Amino acid sequence: MSRAIQQAQLAQDMKRLKKQLQRLCQDRLDVADGKRLRVLDLACGECFEAEMLSKALRDLASKDAHPLDLNVEFVGADIREAEIGRAAERCGSGPEGIDYRFLVKDGQKVAQDADLDEPFDVVFVRHQNYYLGGKEWHALFEQSLEKLAPEGKLVITSYFDHEHELAKGAIQKVGGELIDDIANREARALQTKGKHVDKRLAMFRRRER
């Protein structure tokens, strides 16, 4: 497959994901000071969704205010140094109103990380691979919930229906409360049977203790 075709597919995937994210997040974001939205993208790899995600959430959160009144602080974190380096190179420091940081971090240990000491309004985990290590993903989901602000939301996407259901169960088991679960009817099918790009999305809050 040529690079041009891959880039075109990526652009369409981002367009579809943006539509579903805005559908899921509409009227569900809370930014107390009205000036900053903190977003953490865990296990983000090269974080191709960074620009789309930060702009989409900023637009939703600032719908009742002047767009420049609300800034986004976007943090992408992954254990793979090479991928994080490419994400940082591609995104740079970000345009006015959006600040990007990309950090080499273990998603299973972020709750006590000094670089990530402030809570986040949104924690995003794209294409979780629960099949590849249930124990590790339990830890990452638990850490994700710990990093949420009081009204913060955890959002996940999944390639497969069954894996999505397993992830939902795991998140609820470690303290998450399901808010909504939607199917991406326009998701692009991949070669593996049943696998689609961002096929399912779900949103959670931290359950009150």
State residue 68's pLDDT score: 55
Read off the pLDDT band of 9 (50, 70, 90).
Answer: very high
Q: pLDDT tens, 142-184?
A: 999 999 999 999 999 999 999 999 999 999 999 999 999 999 9
> Which CATH number goes with the domain that contains 154?
3.40.50.150
What is the domain range of residue 127?
3-206
The whole-number pLDDT of residue 131 equals 77
Number of structural domains found in the chain:
1
Question: Can you give the pLDDT at residue 32?
Answer: 62
Reported as a single tens digit per residue, the pLDDT across 53-87 is: 998 888 887 665 555 567 899 999 999 999 999 99
pLDDT on residue 163: 94
Give the mean pLDDT of 188-192: 95
pTM of the full structure: 0.93
Q: What is the mean pLDDT of residues 24-30?
A: 87
34 pLDDT tier (thresholds 50, 70, 90): low
Residue 154: the pLDDT is 97
Q: Convert the pLDDT of each residue in 102-153 to its tens digit.
A: 999 988 888 778 888 899 999 999 998 887 777 888 889 999 999 999 999 9
Average pLDDT over residues 12-36: 87
Instruction: Name the average pLDDT for the chain.
Output: 90
Q: What is the 3-state secondary structure (H, E, C) of the chain?
A: CCHHHHHHHHHHHHHHHHHHHHHHHCCCCCCCCCCEEEEEEECCCCCCCHHHHHHHHHHHHCCCCCHHHCEEEEEEEECCHHHHHHHHHHHCCCCCCEEEEEEECCCCCHHHCHHHCCCEEEEEECCCCHHHCHHHHHHHHHHHHHCEEEEEEEEEEECCHHHHHHHHHHHHHCCEEEEEEEECCCCCECCCCCCECCCEEEEEEECCC
